[in-house]
Amino acid sequence: MRPSLIAFDVDGVLLKPKSSWNTIHNYFGVENEESLRAFLNGDIEYQEFIDRDVNLWLGKKREITRSDFQKIANDIAPNPNFQYLREFLKEFKGNKIAISGGIDVIVSKAREYFDLDDIYSNALVFEKDVLKGGKAIVNPHEKGRFLEKYDGKKVSVGDSEWDKDMFKSSDYSILFNSDSDFDFVDCIVRGNDLRELTRVLKDLK
């Protein structure tokens, strides 16, 4: 199957951190287990989940600026052998996108390493470079809807059950660098070596 689109999750796939949200939580020294449980149980909407996370940070530091997030992002690296995937994507003739339930201040780092056409992620809201809130754009349970914008054969790459909706909306799905195996994917690439993922993508005809 020759794909016309490849869609990537970002956290744990293109970039090393498994969660951009947790990366920020760790920076500010907070935990969001209670809110996560409420979201998974369906007690709160995704926007409220994000609002609660942002308020956790603001509870630790009353004024948070873009520079705080830039400090965090500076330490974010891609997964090993990213250059193989970068070169492959430069030559790929179809659409190359990322669909992430993560947050833009971290997820956007992927643009520094990979030739992507679009990145869809949740966003932080600033006024004069001061954090004011967050905007829910990509509900991790509804990632597949972003693939509806594109025609042709679609391949998706994700690392967890959060990517299930994206997998279901694709013609071919690849589980990469996952802590668990799932039976709803077409291919599993173990470990986080992007050279191995690139080999799989190159073999798609």
Structure tokens that stand for 86 in this block: 């970068």
Per-residue pLDDT for 205 more than 70? no
How many structural domains is the chain composed of?
A: 1
CA angle 76, 81, 87 (to 5 degrees): 105
Above 80 in pLDDT, residue 204? yes
Distance of CA 199 to the CA centre of its chain: 21
For 6-34, write each residue's pLDDT tens digit. 999 999 999 999 999 999 999 999 999 99
CATH at residue 185? 3.40.50.1000
Distance from C-alpha of 57 to C-alpha of 147, rounded to nearest angstrom: 32
With vertex at residue 168, the alpha carbon angle to CA 162 and CA 172, rounded to the nearest 5 degrees, is 110
Could you list the residue range(s) of the whole structural domain that residue 36 is in? 5-203
As a whole number, the mean pLDDT across the chain is 95
Question: Residue 1 pLDDT > 90, yes or no?
Answer: no
Backbone φ, ψ for residue 65 (5° rounding): -115, 170
Distances (CA, A) of 10 to 100, 128, 132: 6, 28, 24
Separation between Cα atoms, residue 60 and residue 56, nearest integer Å = 7
For residue 148, the SS3 value is helix
Q: Hey, what are 127's tokens?
A: 């006024």
Q: What is the pTM of this model?
A: 0.94
DSSP assignment of 80-123, as one string? TTHHHHHHHHHH--SEEEEEEEEEHHHHTTHHHHS--SEEEEEE
Beta strand pairing status for 118-127 and 130-135?
antiparallel
Share of residues in the chain with pLDDT > 70 (%):
100
Q: Give the pLDDT confidence of 100-155 residue by residue, as tens digits.
A: 999 999 999 999 999 899 999 999 999 999 999 999 999 999 999 999 999 999 99
> Residue 78: pLDDT band by 50, 70, 90 thresholds?
very high
User: How confident is residue 173, by pLDDT bands cut at 50, 70 and 90?
Assistant: very high
| Residue 95 binned pLDDT confidence (cut-offs 50, 70, 90) | very high
Q: Which amino acid is at 93?
A: K
